Structure 1
């Protein structure tokens, strides 16, 4: 009984619905018109999507090229220079583990980031080179160039003098003045003359050429001015000559001794004397004065 009452409550009141006013919805288009428009849209060709040109990719590629060119220019132009001051000796390790022992007042320049492409250095002064085997190695100075593959040798390049002594391997020396060239073998010593020619000598004792590495300086019939220049370099002093001494010196001095001892060893046999002046200057005069 209870269920029948609930069912009756859910039935709609038909009398109420029939009493509502009828509403007619009118369409502005007929079924035929709607169908025609729908068919037209279906059969219409599909408009291709617009392809957006990615201009930013061009700019990105251009930027990458500029960065690459700038980086290449940097590694090719960046140069590292090492200078050994007066009164000192310095050992330099190059990127390929080649070793350069610099004498006083000597300098070497190279391009560390370009080293794998070109083993080339600029050098002035005096140094002993021990070169690791590999691609061609070039050493450029004002009056000469030296080319090697793997060897050890000594170069003296001061002022207008250029001298090379070969110890191991082979060394090619080229005069920058005349393009004169020569190939050195162990115990060969070559030097560039004032007119740009290269002269070759055989060394009986090549160790004398690099005695500076042991702080010993040997001279055989050497103009006195060159001896004084060496003392200036090794002790970082200034020598002032009161007079013109056109003399030749044969002898030696060791850097472990004082500069006064070195000057005494040089001046005394030649009849010269020295006194210390201001600012680390040493004045050379003749005993006759």
Structure 2
């Protein structure tokens, strides 16, 4: 109650210097100040003072009416409360939304138009809900699979390139210096630097270190959606980076052979088998030094 009275007095500029200093030091002062700023323009219009005075003098004198203090601040407090609710709602609608998938996990969610998205491990998407139907644009860090609902142009922006589609299913991967796009249905337009490529059903493209590399599509959807990690001519460090993301572990590599390329698949739910395949392929020995740390040594 004391806090509410201080708020009412502050709104009416009735605080003493000591009360004002204490009120400004309160943790909620910044919020009250913003609300007061947005409500400052709500003021009564001008009135004719002479006309009002004549009207008062012509009426019979009545006993003075005492208005309790709470009747002054309650309506204003209610107005502030309603305004605060409006601001909270606006923040939820207009502030960009973020979806993430931590290491060792995948995240599936729907966009405002019911487009479906699945984020692979260690990935993030940012987008805005408001005006989504007329501006279907999002930013991706990592890898994601999209099943886009029909509608206006749909854009996926990454730091390496942009993908533009209209109603389709596709996969985008932007990791370090590699940018992969696979089209599983419909058509997608890929922009990478000054290069623009149109992909149709079953086509894909990869850029690495600024160079375009041919890829083939052999599945109806990304292998990682079925708990498999697929590699095509990958060096061992890139391979281990993906294993770290999928299993949420740390891997140290003690070998001079970092040039040999790997093409194949690793399980995303069976760490021992994945480590055995890597060890056999690169003639390494895997040591588990803790539950979440692996060291590969040369044999």
Q: Report the TM-score when normalising by structure 2.
A: 0.66
Taking the aligned partners of 1:113 and 1:204, their CA distance within structure 2 comes to 36
Q: Per-residue deviation at 1:78?
A: 0.9
Give me the CA root mean square deviation: 2.9
1:256/1:204 CA distance change after superposition, 3 Å? closer
Alignment of 1:12-161 (within 5 A): 56=44, 78-161=95-178
Contact persistence 1:75–1:114 (CA under 8 A): no
1:203/1:278 CA distance change after superposition, 3 Å? closer
Which of 151, 173, 182 in structure 1 is aligned with 2:197?
A: 182
Contact persistence 1:251–1:266 (CA under 8 A): no
Gaps of 5+ in 2: 1-42, 47-83
Please say which of residues 242-251 and 110-119 is displaced more in the overlay: 242-251
Taking the aligned partners of 1:235 and 1:139, their CA distance within structure 2 comes to 26
Taking the aligned partners of 1:252 and 1:157, their CA distance within structure 2 comes to 19
Taking the aligned partners of 1:125 and 1:221, their CA distance within structure 2 comes to 19
The Cα offsets for residues 105-152 of structure 1, whole Å up to 9 and x where unpaired, read as 111111012313311100011111000010111110001001111000
Taking the aligned partners of 2:215 and 2:283, their CA distance within structure 1 comes to 33
Taking the aligned partners of 2:213 and 2:149, their CA distance within structure 1 comes to 25
Q: Which residue of the partner structure matches residue 22 of structure 1?
A: none
Matched residue count: 221
Alignment of 1:181-260 (within 5 A): 181-195=196-210, 199=212, 201=214, 203-207=216-220, 210-246=222-258, 247-257=260-270, 259-260=271-272
Q: Per-residue deviation at 1:76?
A: 8.1
Taking the aligned partners of 2:284 and 2:295, their CA distance within structure 1 comes to 10
What secondary structure, in the 3-state scheme, does the structure 1 residue paired with 2:252 have?
Answer: strand
Contact persistence 2:206–2:215 (CA under 8 A): no
Contact persistence 1:252–1:265 (CA under 8 A): no
1:57/1:157 CA distance change after superposition, 3 Å? farther
Q: Per-residue deviation at 1:261?
A: 2.2
Q: Per-residue deviation at 1:267?
A: 1.1
Please say which of residues 211-220 and 79-88 is displaced more in the overlay: 211-220
Taking the aligned partners of 2:237 and 2:102, their CA distance within structure 1 comes to 20
Taking the aligned partners of 1:183 and 1:220, their CA distance within structure 2 comes to 22
1:250/1:160 CA distance change after superposition, 3 Å? closer
Q: Which residue of the partner structure matches residue 16 of structure 1?
A: none
Taking the aligned partners of 1:139 and 1:76, their CA distance within structure 2 comes to 21
1:149/1:204 CA distance change after superposition, 3 Å? closer
Contact persistence 1:143–1:192 (CA under 8 A): no
Contact persistence 2:145–2:170 (CA under 8 A): yes
Q: Report the TM-score when normalising by structure 1.
A: 0.68
Contact persistence 2:203–2:217 (CA under 8 A): no
Q: Which residue of the partner structure matches residue 190 of structure 2?
A: 173
The Cα offsets for residues 210-241 of structure 1, whole Å up to 9 and x where unpaired, read as 11100012334321111111110110000001
Q: Per-residue deviation at 1:244?
A: 3.1
**Which one has the largest radius of gyration?**
1
1:120/1:57 CA distance change after superposition, 3 Å? farther
